[in-house]
Amino acid sequence: MQKNNIGAMSRRRFLAVSGAIAGTSIIDHQSKVYPAVFHISKTDQVKQKIALVGTGVRGVSTWGRNVVRDYSDYVDFVGLCDNNPGRLEFGKNFIGASCSTYSDFDKMMKETKPDSLIVTTVDDTHDYFIKRGMELGANIICEKPMAIDEKKIQTIIDAEKRTGKDCRVTFNYRYSPHRAKMWKILRSGEIGDLTSIDFHWYLDTSHGASYFRRWHRLVERGGSLWVHKASHHFDLLNWWIESDPESVYALGDLEFYGKNGPFRAENCRNCPHTKQCDFYWDIMKSSYNKRLYVDNEKYDGYLRDGCVFRNDVNIYDKMAATIKYMNGVQVSYSLTAYSPYEGYRIAFNGTKGRMDAWIQESNPTTDRRYDEIVIAKNFGKREYIQFPQSGGHGGGDKILKDQIFILNTPDPYKQAAGVRDGSFACLVGIAARESIKSKMPVMIKDLTTLIPQTQKEYKRV
Ligand SMILES: NC(=O)c1ccc[n+]([C@@H]2O[C@H](COP(=O)([O-])OP(=O)(O)OC[C@H]3O[C@@H](n4cnc5c(N)ncnc54)[C@H](O)[C@@H]3O)[C@@H](O)[C@H]2O)c1
């Protein structure tokens, strides 16, 4: 009974906040509470010294070559680090940076003294580089997921408090125009009081299957898709709902990949079953993949074209969770990793109506070239809002990087995320993992020192 009252009260608060935002300039509201470039001091823009650890595909492209190409007026790369010397050398040439390269992280930090450190290593190492990077004087720009378990998250929370440094988590999913539009509509009051969300994500047998080829297939490296992938989705929920998650109850299984396959090998290049296997993938067809991964296997033995049916796959490929939020909103979530097409369906249920979206990211079943949001009023008409599909997440990637590298870039939709947001996004997935083991709901407040709030807070931890 008391819980319901809290839920009802918090929903009224949600609307009050919505009304405030709808009725005033969103930019004014935002800039007062949460500067977008929150780790550049509010003095005149000076060129930031940047170091990067993890020269894999994400490090050398999104946070490497593209940054040199688009932000050289604002940043200088001063150091690159990776524990695979071949990939490090390739990365330096590919990025086009003239800085030094290091296999020793501490040495790089001490010699180059970067203002900011970009962390694009394998997920289970993020916490180490965030903590050590802060201790050695840098603010951090980290790829999702921020960390793969609650102890690692606590390490980051403590390091941020102790060092006074910041960690920006680069949740690029927040930046797609259609997702920002949903954020705005939720605050406009159009569907009334938000009460629940149905959210179902489908990974396909190409991109989705690739998680089962790579290090992501091991829970100890990526935290399972509950954390590696779904932290994107949980972050979207946390951001849209603007409240913190309270509890998670989850189910999951591995029924398609790994031990379930009809045959297996270590990797596709050494497989006797290539003719029968729908998942056969010839990495040698891409000279980029060959140079980034195959040529450097000799240093660490990492096989980028691993077999999706290897017996060591220990993550789930079908998952479902019920998530309760502090403001009473409840969410039905699922993730399926072997669908014929990739994308998601979402419905936001409110007291005055509903907002639906069906976004297809690969192999769409129609030749439609736009994404669509539908707003249906309980006793009114439907409204269809369409967005042309385009690369770079519809321009979102540029806004994310502008906010990170260019001083005073506005943040009208509160898309900038720090340690608090990075933590809650991972904690939902970590709680789901724990819930499957214990067969019980898991309370988010029991995992770290972070205290979930009814109204999401925009401040450091
Ligand atoms: N936001 C997104 O949409 C998105 C997309 C892709 C990847 N990512 C994230 O980017 C990160 C990197 O992913 P990726 O696809 O580039 O993987 P990758 O395997 O291509 O690269 C990881 C790199 O980290 C290096 N590395 C691993 N452990 C290290 C250590 N202890 N010290 C130094 N280097 C180490 C590896 O040698 C490799 O070069 C991951 O955290 C991933 O979740 C995010």
Quick: pLDDT tens for 238-253.
Answer: 999 999 999 999 999 9
Question: Order of strands, edge to edge, in the sheet holding 342-350?
Answer: 382-388, 370-377, 353-362, 342-350, 194-204, 330-339, 318-325, 245-253, 442-443
Q: Are residues 42 and 136 in the same domain?
A: yes
Task: Give residue 371's pLDDT.
Answer: 85
What pLDDT does residue 10 have?
A: 38
Tell me, yes or no, whether 281 and 221 share the same domain: no
Query: Which range marks the domain in which residue 103 is found?
Result: 34-169
Q: Given ligand 1 and candidates 143, 175, 235, 361, which is best to mutate, with the most ligand atoms within 8 Å of its CB?
A: 143
Three-state DSSP class for residue 458: coil
What rounded mean pLDDT belongs to the chain? 90
pLDDT at 28: 30
Is residue 57 domain-shared with residue 126, that is, in the same domain? yes
- The CATH number for 359's domain is 3.30.360.10
Ligand 1 atom at minimum distance from 60 CA: 16
Residues 135 and 225 in one domain: no
Q: What is the spatial distance between Cα 180 and Cα 429, in angstroms, rounded to a whole number?
A: 23
- In a shared domain, residues 189 and 253: yes
Give a yes or no: residue 305 inside a domain: no
Give pTM, 2 decimals. 0.91
Reference 74, options 417, 414, 403; nearest CA is 403
* Cα 95 to middle of ligand 1, angstroms: 15
Residue at a domain's end among 118, 150, 169: 169
Q: Are residues 150 and 100 in the same domain?
A: yes
DSSP state of 260: G
Ligand 1 pocket, 216 CB below 6 A?
A: no
DSSP 106-146: HHHHHHH--SEEEE-S-GGGHHHHHHHHHHTT-EEEEPSPS
Q: pLDDT tens-digit profile of 192-237?
A: 999 999 999 999 999 999 999 999 999 999 999 999 999 999 999 9
Shared domain for 334 and 424, answered yes or no, is: yes
Residue 380 lies in a domain: yes
The whole-number pLDDT of residue 365 equals: 59
Alpha carbon nearest to ligand 1 atom 10, residue: 120
Domain boundary, last residue among 300, 334, 364: 300
Under 8 Å CB-to-CB from 446, ≥6 apart: which residues?
none
Instruction: Confirm whether 137 is domain-assigned.
Output: yes
Look at residue 71 in the predicted model and tell me its pLDDT: 97
Kindly give the distance from the C-alpha atom of residue 126 to the centroid of ligand 1, in angstroms, as a whole number.
Answer: 9
d(CA 40, ligand 1 centre) in Å: 25
Q: Is the CB of 120 under 6 A from ligand 1?
A: yes
347 lines ligand 1 (CB under 6 A): no
Cα–Cα distances in angstroms (integers) from residue 140 to residues 5, 39, 70, 124, 312, in the given order? 40, 9, 20, 16, 33
Average pLDDT over residues 15-21: 30
Retrieve residue 371's tokens: 């994404």
Give Cβ neighbours of residue 293 (< 8 Å, ≥ 6 apart): 87, 283, 302, 304, 305
Domain presence at residue 406: no
The pLDDT score that the predictor gives to residue 425 is 98
Determine contact, residues 268/280, Cβ cutoff 8 Å. yes
Q: How many domains does the chain have?
A: 3
How many angstroms separate the CA atoms of 175 and 300, rounded? 35
Q: Given ligand 1 and candidates 55, 101, 121, 233, which is best to mutate, with the most ligand atoms within 8 Å of its CB?
A: 121
Residues 247 and 354 in one domain: yes
Same domain, 112 and 241: no
Ligand 1 contacts CB of residue 221 (under 6 A): no
Q: Is the pLDDT reported for residue 424 higher than 50?
A: yes
Residue finishing a domain among 111, 144, 169: 169
Cβ contact 323:330 at 8 Å: yes
What percentage of the chain has pLDDT greater than the value 90? 84
Average pLDDT value for residue range 184-198:
97
Residue 95 pLDDT more than 80? yes
Q: Say yes or no: CB of residue 87 within 6 Å of ligand 1.
A: yes
Q: What is the pLDDT of residues 267-321, one digit of tens each?
A: 999 999 999 999 999 999 999 999 999 999 999 999 999 999 999 999 999 999 9
Q: 87, 120, 144: which to mutate for ligand 1, most atoms within 8 A of CB?
A: 120
What's the pLDDT tens digit per position in 64-84?
Answer: 999 999 999 999 999 999 999
Does a structural domain hold residue 39?
yes
Q: Domain check: are 327 and 350 in the same one?
A: yes
Ligand 1 center to residue 85 CA distance, Å? 15
227 Cα: distance to centroid of ligand 1 (angstroms): 14
- The predicted structure's pLDDT at residue 1: 30
Ligand 1 nearest atom to the CA of residue 171, by list position: 1
Same domain for 429 and 371, yes or no, is yes
Per-residue pLDDT band for 366 (boundaries 50, 70, 90) equals low
Task: Tell the residue nearest (CA) to atom 7 of ligand 1.
Answer: 58
Q: What is the pLDDT of residue 362?
A: 76
Round to whole Å and give the CA distance between 196 and 193: 10
Which atom in ligand 1 lies closest to the alpha carbon of residue 304? 19
Average pLDDT over residues 79-90: 98
What is the number of other CB atoms lying within 10 angstroms of the CB of residue 172?
18
Distance 81 CA to ligand 1 centre (A): 12
Exposure string over 222-249, b if 16+ CB within 10 A, otherwise e: bbbbbbbbbbbbbbbbbbbbbbbbbbbb
Distance 25 CA to ligand 1 centre (A): 38
Residue 123 counted as domain residue = yes
Give the residue, out of 53, 55, 80, 82, with the most ligand 1 atoms within 8 A of its beta carbon, to mutate for a pocket test: 82
Q: Whose CA is nearest to atom 26 of ligand 1?
A: 121
Cβ of residue 143 lying under 6 Å from some atom of ligand 1 = yes
- Same domain as 436, residue 325: yes
Ligand 1 centroid–CA 122 distance in Å is: 4
pLDDT(17) > 80: no
Cα 427 to averaged position of ligand 1 atoms, centre (Å): 20
For residue 70, being part of any structural domain is answered with yes
- Is 395 a domain residue? no
Ligand 1 center–CA 375 separation, angstroms: 38
210 CB within 6 A, ligand 1: no
